[in-house]
Chains A and B, each alone.
Chain A
């Protein structure tokens, strides 16, 4: 036990002095989470507002076909932030950037509508251009208003009131609680992030304590110390695990703070509360620990094969993604209903438990299944890592 602690303390000291590890362990979750939850939505909101406020030049072809429409557009131009430009060819005008979007009015539009027939207006835009899409939305909104105006005129001409079109009103009642809505918001990203930091948080340490030790030529010196290989690998594993859990803890804290701050920004009307009961924290951290044991053991086993830090990085990065991606994809599949067998799938079970915990909707037999199977997978992965550390062909691969 003494040797395990000695190796562990040394690896932790080495880790806290390694800028790369600190970057991944502390800075990434601290910066990444607020950026993702507050920064990007805020930036998108600002950009959208900017884009909507900017005057969009709208092209018109066939303006003589509907003086009524032209008059309506001119009246609404200032309010809808558009400027009208008569052009000959809409496609060319959009391509050349003269206008952002445009409308083509069918022949004799006004006359046709007056006779009670259907007129036609085509909206031209470039779906690969955000400014063009914004201009299209403005045109669409104006045309909706114009349509309603024409409908009202037709109904009046027939002696009917426009309210005939609205025989009833509908509303919606959200039965979810503020806490559930807060949990749902957290549940969108947090499970994936916790899984990611459990894997990535300790990756550099896993590389450093295995392949890094080989590259520095310190491994052999360590092997001639009177500590068993089991003690050495356990000390190293505990260091990788600690780093992963610190990373998970920081990302959890950062995500909750970001959700509280970002939630009030994204849902200014309220109806959103972040309350994390102690039981949720215990379940999330416990599950994250099992997940980290499994992923860290896999990382240590894989990195042990490598002769250098760079080679280990080449192995560990794809392995981490291979481990995490299927779980994330499974989680985001449309129409996916969680069932008991799903709580036995490695990593997916962890993500499901994270989600349940955040929603506060535990089904204890599901949690028990996830904990039991994850503990089993974690134990197997750890045993494999320890066994590999005992193999000369792995430790001294390529002459060691």
Chain B
């Protein structure tokens, strides 16, 4: 469960996120949909404890992101489209590194890494230097890395950005599997079709504020639109005026 209440973030005189409140329940995919620079990543960074909120609070599984930051980090997995991996290390070394940072013992890391590599079909590249792998394979390694500590909450930040169709499908399948397993999932994207396909509930965020939140049907109903794209344009366009 993720609960955000009046989350606000200022960077100097710039207000990047303003009074954002929402709830994300276990077993649902909660989408944060918005154009580039709308405040999606900043919101996600506050929830993942990387940034400190200027005002407001957020709780992950009941842990406050400011007071219990370490507990929050121990329970979340983060996957972004900008695959950040250590090129000189092998997939196993990367996964093991994050496992050790989460305090997992060596035996468990070995066992869990074997399971993850099998699931993601990474066994062949387990001990190859990561910099020589394709972008899709790297994203699979990033998935394995984010799963090593079996987090209950997942934060996805544009996870398919820059990926080809097959690699994007792997990520989508992974997100659906997380939902099936009852994990809490927050999914940030600026791609309308992706939000429509993936999310159970969607919050449209623009200029740092949540403009509307609900299921796809509820949003269409509230905006008198026939598609999510139309609804998005109606909400964002109305705010732009």
Chain A residues with a Cβ under 8 A of chain B: 2-3, 6-7, 10, 13-14, 17-18, 216-228, 392-393, 396
Q: Determine the chain A residues whose CB is within 8 A of the CB of B83 once the complex forms.
A: 217
**A-B contacts at CB below 8 angstroms, number:** 68
Q: Residues of A contacting B207 with CB < 8 Å?
A: none
Chain A residues with CB below 8 A from B102, complex form: 225-226
**Nearest CB of chain B from residue A109's CB, rounded to whole Å:** 77
Scan B125-136; emit 1 where CB is below 8 A from any A CB, else 0.
000010000000
With A217-B82, A224-B78, A226-B73 known as contacts, the answer to whether A18 contacts B97 (CB < 8 A) is no
Tell me if B74 is interfacial: C-beta within 8 Å of chain A.
yes
CB-CB under 8 A for A392 and B88, given A3-B101, A217-B82, A225-B98: no
**Interface size counted on chain B using CB atoms at 8 A:** 31
B103 lies within 8 A of A226 (CB): yes
Check A220–B50 contact: CB distance below 8 A.
yes
A19 to chain B, nearest CB (A): 10
When distances are taken between beta carbons in the complex, the residues of chain B under 8 Å from A396 are: 51
The docked-state distance in angstroms from the alpha carbon of A216 to that of B49 is: 20
Q: Which residue of A lies closest to B102 (CB)?
A: A226
Residues of B within 8 A of A222 (CB): 101
Further contacts, 10 of them, CB under 8 A, given A7-B101, A223-B48:
A10-B86, A10-B93, A14-B88, A216-B87, A220-B80, A221-B78, A223-B50, A226-B73, A226-B101, A396-B51
- Let me know if B50 and A216 touch, CB within 8 A: no
A10 closest partner in B (C-beta): B97
Q: Which of A6, A17, A18 interacts with B100 by CB under 8 Å?
A: A6
Q: Which of B4-59 contact A (CB under 8 A)?
A: 11, 45, 48-52
A223 to B129, CA, bound (A): 23
Cross-interface CB contact of A224 among B52, B76, B86, B129, cutoff 8 Å: B76
Q: Does B228 count as interface, using CB distance less than 8 angstroms?
A: no
Distance A7 CA – B97 CA, assembled complex (angstroms)? 8
Distance of A390 Cα from B83 Cα, bound (Å): 23
B192 at the interface (CB under 8 A from A): no
* Docked-complex contact A218 and B101, CB < 8 angstroms: no
Enumerate chain B residues within 8 angstroms of A13, measured Cβ to Cβ: 89, 93
Q: Roughly how many angstroms separate A218 CA and B49 CA in the complex, as a whole number?
A: 16
Given contacts A6-B97, A10-B97, contact A224 B88 (CB under 8 A): no
Q: B20 to nearest A CB, angstroms?
A: 18
- Residues of the B chain whose Cβ atoms lie less than 8 Å from the Cβ of A217: 80, 82-84
Measured in the bound complex, the distance between the Cα atoms of B86 and A13 in whole Å is: 11
Q: Complex: how many Å from CA A221 to CA B98?
A: 9
B169: chain A residues within 8 A (beta carbon): none
A12 to B27, CA, bound (A): 40
Select the residue from A216, A222, A225 with max chain B CB neighbours within 10 A.
A225
Contacts of A223 in B (CB 8 A): 48-50
Q: Do B93 and A225 have beta carbons less than 8 Å apart?
A: no
Query: What A residues does B139 contact at CB under 8 A?
Result: none
- Identify 12 residue pairs between A and B in the complex whose beta-carbon atoms are under 8 Å apart, listed by A's number: A2-B103, A6-B97, A6-B101, A10-B86, A10-B89, A17-B89, A216-B84, A219-B84, A224-B48, A224-B50, A224-B78, A226-B73
